Amino acid sequence: MPKKKSPPITEAWRGITFTRRALVVGGAQAAVGVALAARMAYISVVDNDRYVLESESNRVNLTLVPPRRGWIVDRHGKALANNRVSLRIDLIPDRLHNKEMILGQLQTLLRLDGDAMERINRDLKAASGFQPVAVKEDMTEAEYSSILVRLPELPGIAPQRGFARNYPTGAAVGHLIGYVGAPNAEEYQKVKDPLYITPGYKIGKDGLEKYFQEMLKGEPGARRVEVTARGKVVRDLSTQPDMQGKTVHLTIDAGLQEYVARRMGRESGAAVVIDCHNGDILAFVSMPSFDPNSFSDGISTSEYAWLRADDHQPLINKATRGLYPPGSTLKPMAAIAAIEHGVDPSERHTCIGGYRLGNRFFRCLGTHGSLDMPSAIMKSCNSYFYWLAHRLGYDAMAPTARLLGLGEEFRLAGSNQRYGTIPDSAWKMRKYDQRWTASDSLNAVIGQGYVSVNPLQLAVMAARIASGRSLYPRLVNRQFRNEPLPFSPEALAVARQGMDLVVNGAGTAVRSRLPLDGITMAGKTGTAQVRGLRTGNGQSGTWKFRDHGLFVGFAPVVNPRYATGIVIEHGMGGSRAAAPVARDFMTYLFDREKGMEALETLEAGWGGSIKERMDRDYAAWKSGASSDPDPGVPQ
C-alpha cells in the first residue's frame, strides 16, 4: 500500500469528497445517458432504412405461387401434357412451434405412413426459415377440408391450391414427352432461384419437358400477406397472378400416338410414324413405357424398382436409344444402290437356296429360283442380294444407306440418340484395323454383321424412299430444306415396286395388306438374328434369344403420305410381329373406326388397356416382391 502524506480526514473533507464524487457519478450517468441517446439516434436514423426493410420482411410474408406449366399439344391442339388442380399442404418450419404435436395431428388426419413421416422430418431438418416443406400433394377434397377447418389450431401449416402436371394418355407419351419433377439440391445450387425450393414447383427432367423447360416454365406469381410472428395471416396485401408457360406445339398426332402405343400390346419395341410430305413425326412410341404421371407426382421407390426390374426395359427409349440389326429392311436400300451403280433391275439371278462365296455357302431362307430385283425384294431373297453385294461391294451401298438417314444422328428436340453403324471398309479399318472382306459385304447387305440402326432411322429411310426427298424428321415446326435425293426415279420406283409386292403381291407381308378399299401399303419386313446363325433358329425358346421383328413401310403406295419404321424386340419375325402393327395403325390413319375396332379386339385378349395392365403387373410385382425373399431370381 503506498503510504503518502494525505491531509487529515475531517468531516469537512468528507463533505467535499462526497460532493466531488457525487458529481463524478452524476457526470458518468449523464455521459451514459448521452451515449444511449446517440445509440438510439444511430439505430433509428442512420440504420433506419435497413431496419425498416427488416421490419417489412417480418411483417410481410411473400409467398411465391408456382406458375402453371405450359401445355404440350399435338398437331391438332390436343393436350399431351396439361395441368390439373392439386390440393396440397406444406409446413413452414419457422412457424412450427410444437412440431411433435402438429406432425402427430397431420399423421392421423392425413393417414401418412412411416415413409412419408420420415421424409417430412428429414426435409424439416434440411429446410430453414420460411422455406416450406411439402407434407402431402394431390389430396382429396375431404382431406384438404379436414385440414382447413383445423387451421387455427395448427400454426405453421400452409394449405395451397396448386397445379400438378397431367399426362392424359399416360404411358403412351412417356418416352416422347419425358416427365417433370421437383428440382434437386444441385439444380437449385445452379440457378439459386427461390422458386426452385417452393413446394409444388416442378421442372422438366427428361424428354421434351426438359428440352422445352425455358418455354414451358412461365412466370411465378406472388402473394403478399401480413402475418404475425406465429404465422397467422392478418390480411392479404396484394396478389400478383402467375403467368402460365408457353404452349409447345408438336407435330405428333395424339390419337395416332396413343393408338400405336396401345397396339404394341405386351411387346417390347418401338414405332415411329413420319409424314411423307414434310418429315413431321406423327407418332413416336417406345413400349413398354413408364407412366409420366407417376414421375411427376414423385415416383415411389418400389414403383421405380419395378420399372427397373422389367426385362422389357420400360425406362429405355427404344425409338432412339435402341440399336438393332435391321435385317432385310435394308434390301430396298441395297436395290437403289445397285441401280445407281449400273445394275439392271430386270437382270435375273437364280436362287439355289444360298450363295457360294469361295468355300463358304451363305444360306437363303428359301430356294427362290430365278428372280429380278422387285421380286427379290418381294421374296426377301438373300441369295440375290448376296450376289449384288459380292458384285458391287458394300462400299458402293453404304453412301446410299447414309443418304437415306441410316447411321445419322438427327437434331431432334429432346431426344438422346444412339445412331448405330453403317459400316464400310474405311470404318472397319479405323475400328478394327482389318481389311473389309467380301463376306462382310454379304452380311451387311442382309442387315446383319456390323450394321445397326435405330427405329427412328428406319422410319426416316422409309419416308425418304417413299417421298424421294431427304426428309428431315421433326417434332416441332422447324424448317428443313428436304431436297430431292440424288437417285434416279427408276431406282426409287424399283424399290417402291418391290415394297408394294411385299404386301400386295406374293411377298412376306401379304397377311398385313390394308383392309381398305383403294388404299394399299408398301413395306419391307426384316428379321434380325439376336444370336449367331448357328445357335438355335431364333423362332422359339427363351424370349431374350428370339429374333427381332422389323418392318418399314409407307402408305398409300401411290402418292405416299405416311411412312413408318417398327421394331418388335424378340418378335420372331417382321411379317409375324411388326407388319401387323403397321397394318393396324395405317388402317387407323385412313379409317379411324375400323382401326379402333381391330385394336379393341386385340386389347381384350391382352387383358385391358395399357394402364390396366400396368397397374395389375405392378400390384402383382409388389405382392411378389414383398413375399418373395429373393425377387432377383427370375421365375
Contact residues toward other proteins (CB under 8 A) are 6, 8-11, 13-15, 17-19, 21-23, 25-26, 29-30, 32-33, 36-37, 39-41, 43-45, 47-48, 50-52, 54-56, 58-59, 94, 129, 226-230, 234
Quick one: 36 or 619, whose CB is closer to other proteins? 36
Q: How far is the CB of 22 from other proteins (least distance, A)?
A: 5
Cα–Cα distance, 10 to 191 (Å, whole number): 80
Cα 565 versus chain centre, distance:
20
| 8 Å CB contact between 395 and 519 | no
Residue type, 564: T
Count Cα neighbours of 175 within 13 Å in the Cβ-side half-sphere. Answer: 27
Burial class (CB in 10 A: 0-12, 13-18, 19+), 62: middle
The CA distance from 84 to 165, in Å, is 6
Closer residue to other proteins in complex, CB, 48/367: 48
The Cα 224–Cα 56 span in angstroms is 11
DSSP 109-167: HHT--HHHHHHHHHHHHH--TT--EEEESS--HHHHHHHHHTGGG-TTEEEEEEEEEE-
233 vs 476, beta carbon nearer other proteins:
233
Helix (H) or strand (E) holding 34: helix 11-41
Q: Find the length of the chain.
A: 635
Cβ proximity of 564 and 273 under 8 Å? yes
Q: Give least dist CB 189 to other proteins, A.
A: 23
Closest to 522 (Cα-Cα) out of 276, 221, 306, 279:
276
Q: Which of 457, 459, 437, 441 is nearest to 449 (CA)?
A: 441
Q: How far apart are CA 606 and CA 598, in angstroms?
A: 13
Instruction: Closer to other proteins by CB, 96 or 272: give it.
Output: 96
Looking at beta carbons only, is 47 or 612 nearer to other proteins? 47
Closest approach of Cβ 150 to other proteins, in Å? 21
Tell me whether strands 72-73 and 248-249 are parallel, antiparallel or unpaired: parallel
Residue 55 CB, nearest approach to other proteins (Å) = 4
Residue 462's identity, in one-letter code, is A
Strand pairing of 269-275 and 281-287? Answer: antiparallel
Cα→Cα distances 209→162, 253, 323, Å: 19, 18, 24
Is the CB of 13 or the CB of 543 nearer to other proteins? 13
Q: What's the min distance (Å) between Cβ of 38 and other proteins?
A: 10
Best CA proximity match to 283, nearest among 321, 306, 256, 316 = 256
- In the bound state with other proteins, the residue whose beta carbon lies nearer, of 152 and 632, is 152
**Residue 24 beta carbon to other proteins: minimum distance, rounded to whole angstroms:** 8
Q: Of 479, 535, 502, 222, nearest to 375 (Cα)? A: 502
| 92 vs 465 by CB, closer to other proteins | 92
Q: Least separation, in Å, of the C-beta of 11 and other proteins? A: 5
- Kindly give, in sequence order, each residue whose CB lies less than 8 Å from that of residue 238, ignoring residues fewer than 6 positions away: 223, 224
Please say which residue, 95 or 576, places its beta carbon nearer to other proteins. 95
Q: How far is the CB of 10 from other proteins (least distance, A)?
A: 6
Instruction: Give the number of other CB atoms < 10 A from CB of residue 411.
Output: 12
In angstroms, what is the minimal distance from the CB of 221 to other proteins?
24
Q: Which three cell numbers stand for residue 486?
A: 440424288
Closest distance to other proteins from the beta carbon of 621 (Å): 46
HEC secondary structure over 239-261: EECCECCCCEECCCCHHHHHHHH
**Minimal distance in Å, beta carbon 27 to other proteins?**
10
Q: How far apart are CB 228 and other proteins at their closest, in Å?
A: 4
Which of 26, 484 has the CB closer to other proteins?
26
How many C-beta atoms surround the C-beta of residue 439 within 10 A? 16
Minimum CB–partner distance for residue 16 and other proteins (Å) = 9
| Residue 2: CB minimum distance to other proteins, A | 8
Closer to other proteins by Cβ: residue 9 or 633: 9
CA distance to 355, 372, 384, 512, per residue, from 347 (Å): 17, 6, 11, 29
Nearer to other proteins, 126 or 558 (CB): 126
Q: Specify the residue, 185 or 229, whose C-beta has the smaller distance to other proteins.
A: 229
CB of residue 17 to other proteins, shortest distance in Å: 4
Q: Could you report how far apart the first and last alpha carbons of the chain are, in Å?
A: 100
b/e for 85-106, b at 16 or more Cβ within 10 A? ebbbbbbbbbbbeeeeebbebb
Q: Which is nearer to other proteins, 157 or 485 (CB)?
A: 157
Q: Which amino acid is at 632?
A: G
The one-letter amino acid at 112 = L
Of 33 and 241, which has the nearer Cβ to other proteins? 33
